[in-house]
A and B are shown apart, each in its own frame.
Chain A
Amino acid sequence: MKNEPIICVENLKKTYKTHSREPGLVNAFKSLFKRKYIIKEALKGISFEIMPGEIVGFIGPNGAGKSTTLKTLSGILYPSGGNVKVLGMTPWKNRVKYVKNIGVVFGQKNTMWWDLPAVDTFELNREFYSIPKEAYKERLDRMVKLLDVEKVMRTPVRDLSLGERMKCQAITSLLHNPKLVFLDEPTIGLDIIAKDRFRDLIKDTNKKDKTTFIVTTHDMQDIEKLCDRIIIINHGEIIYDGSLKNIKGEYLSNKIVDVKLEEAHQGFKLKGCKVLKRRKYELKIEINVKKKSINELVSYLLENYQVADILIQDPPIEEIIRNIYEK
């Protein structure tokens, strides 16, 4: 069991069919008799496997098919083709039995009782999922302390702020100790501290209970801090599946070099390098390491200037991802 994948997705396809509506009254009238359909291929046959205990970041631009994938994996959407096996089950086959084993957060949607305080949802879920009392109490206390929702969880959910609701939502998805958790944009609306706490919670849970997570997010910090592995999807196709480190190796051809000088410089020119920022005592240089080595750049700098400080950095991960999306 140990080395068998917890999720097996094979050639998963999803096609949406919607009515197209042209603007205007005449067209609205026409559409009464003749309907045009738009076929939208949201997933064009994606395949991947996920092992127990992984935290996988599932990223891609808007409309890429992330939510569609997670909805299919949680069993609330039928695919148009392909095979999916999760925890040895087909998600959409036996819904009630299947969803007991998973936890889900859809950042855009609320799964708590709207009119009741979150703590009531927790308590009711304890019964829904037949969670043993002691385990429930221990887990709840730990999460409540970590996310600091002691007071918040006693207010009706409808009166909570977005971030407060997201925190309670996260607790709801983890209380029954699911083996597998799908988080679709779980950090929406969280402040910096709350994001950190939330990431801690996920990491903790992953370490302690060997919980597997799939996280979609537009916040690259989430990815950097949480995930060992990322899957990038665009236009319904997987364009990268691997570790975060490798993506830097594979897609990263540039580095950023910050140089501070003792004296004012008289222009800088070197092949394979681009000056991003130029001040009297300061240069910010982007170097294409495929054309020019760092070594050459540094020797050139030391030869020609009185250098006070050099800082060599990778461009932020956002930069890399943006390049990949734009390709």
Chain B
Amino acid sequence: MKNLFYRYLSEIKAGFRISLIYRFNTLVHLLTAPINLVIFYFLWNAIYGYTGQEIIRGFTLPALISYYAVSIIISFLVWADIDEWMEEAVRQGYLVTDLLRPINYIGSNFFFLIGLKLLNLLIQTIPFFIIAVVFFNVKIAGPAYFLLFFVALFMAFVLNFFISFLVGLTAFWLMKIGGIRRMRRIFVFFLSGALIPLSFFPEWFQRISSFLPFEYIRYHVINIYLEKYTFVEVLRVMGIQLVWIVILCLLGILVWRRAYKKFAGAGT
């Protein structure tokens, strides 16, 4: 048990060390994020001015800007392209070397990703949060909601991990999964409410979407931060997040076993 802990810890360390190599890239994102926010501001400022409405679909203009600010933070911390690594590993054959390491494959990927994100938290998320609060008037959530937000954020991270992982597993059968990966990105981006909050979509669309896991990666998590939900509603969101995590995790384990058999069997 103790050894297991150290193994996963060293996986986190590996991720962190790798992220240090790409710290420059990480810092560039810190610069582009506020620019994005400014663009969103001008766009929505014009829309609000044109319609003459104070509130559109439950959002005032400042609330909408806060929505995008928190959305960017979620992108920083949650976004992951594990499917891309997995495709490379299968195609280039270095999956073999992953399998020679004495560590559970799913676990190693998960903790490696956590290690990668650690630096994002330090040099991207926190500075950007300060910028958002100081220059964009983003409200700091109350302590209770702040805490709940973090819990939901972590679950969103896990949820997104498994979605990306499952997409990556298709590489074991299809070898080239560029198309599926792009679809996954679009789905997660659009249906999680990254472009516009889901309440801007028509009713029927929202209903369909509510049966899918994507909006639990972003939309509801942001709403928790914006204190749009009562505690009961927050618990409901987290409950659904948990259910999705369990479903996708079990599915992930199941498919991984088959994928591994397929890989090790090499067509027999």
Contact = CB atoms under 8 A, between A and B. Distances in A.
A130 B10 CA distance: 10
Interface in A100-128: 100, 104, 106, 109-111, 113, 115-116, 120, 124, 127-128
Contacts of B21: 115-116, 156
Nearest to B265: A78
A127 B94 contact: no
A18 B18 contact: no
A259 to B, nearest CB: 53
A111 B96 CA distance: 9
Contacts of B93: 109
Given A76-B96, A76-B264, A92-B264, A97 B102 contact: yes
Contacts of B100: 74, 76, 99, 104, 111
Nearest to B97: A111
Nearest to A98: B102
Nearest to B264: A78
A161 interface: no
Interface string B210-224: 000000000000000
B99 interface: yes
A17 B267 contact: yes
A127 B11 CA distance: 9
Interface stretch (B1-9, B51-59, B192-200): B1-9
Interface string B99-119: 111111000000000000000
Contact of A124 (B10, B94, B264, B266): B10
B268 A120 contact: no
Nearest to B6: A127
A129 interface: yes
Interface residues of A, number: 33
A281 interface: no
Contacts of A31: none
B17 interface: yes
A128 B101 contact: yes
Interface residues of B, number: 26
B18 A115 contact: yes
B185 interface: no
B17 A120 contact: yes
B266 A99 contact: no
Given A16-B266, A76-B96, A124-B13, A130 B3 contact: yes
A253 interface: no
Given A96-B102, A113-B18, A115-B21, A130 B96 contact: no
Nearest to B9: A127
Interface string A74-99: 11111010000000000010011101
A120 B265 CA distance: 32
A11 interface: no
A155 interface: no
A71 interface: yes
Nearest to A68: B266
B7 A109 contact: no
A142 B219 CA distance: 56
B258 to A, nearest CB: 13
B261 interface: yes
A150 to B, nearest CB: 20
Contacts of A128: 7, 10, 101-103
A71 B96 contact: yes
B14 interface: yes
17 contacts: A14-B268, A16-B267, A76-B100, A77-B266, A78-B264, A92-B264, A95-B99, A100-B102, A109-B93, A109-B94, A109-B97, A110-B97, A113-B14, A115-B18, A116-B21, A127-B6, A130-B7
Interface of A: 14-18, 71, 74-78, 80, 92, 95-97, 99-100, 104, 106, 109-111, 113, 115-116, 120, 124, 127-130, 156
Interface of B: 3, 6-7, 9-10, 13-14, 17-18, 21, 93-94, 96-97, 99-104, 261, 264-268
Given A77-B265, A109-B97, A156-B21, 4 more contacts: A111-B101, A113-B14, A130-B3, A130-B7
The 3 closest A-B pairs by CB, nearest first: A127-B10, A111-B97, A17-B267
